[in-house]
Amino acid sequence: MVDKKKSKGTSEGLGIAGFTLGIVGLVTLLFSILLALVLFIVGVILCSIQQKKNPTKLGKSGLIINIIGIILAVIFLIILIKYLGPIINEIQKQALQNFPAS
């Protein structure tokens, strides 16, 4: 019976790692969208492997958190591009106008 508990604990490692990456990704999303997106994608991969090998509640929760995180990261990235794109274009135009001709 002790052996089953040890094997159960070690077989939940990918689910725990994926869940942790989801939580860390949500915090990172406030600072770096692309880094958070990478964390979410790795988390989805780890949780998916966990669910195929040995389905656990933590693996399923991690999978859900990571998928929600990917959706949020993509939405934030679209909003960022939509609103910062015109500002960056205007800055580039002004920089080119002020650039001395040779």
pLDDT tens profile 60-70: 999 999 999 99
pLDDT tens profile 18-52: 999 999 999 999 999 999 999 999 999 999 999 99
The domain limits of the chain are: 12-98
Are 63 and 44 within 8 A, CB to CB? yes
Question: Whole-model pTM?
Answer: 0.76
Over residues 68-88, the mean pLDDT reads 91
- Helix axes of 13-28 and 57-98: crossing angle, nearest 10 degrees: 30
d(CA 23, CA 17) in angstroms, rounded, equals 10
User: Of 24, 9, 4, 7, which Cα lies nearest the Cα of 69?
Assistant: 24
pLDDT value of residue 2: 47
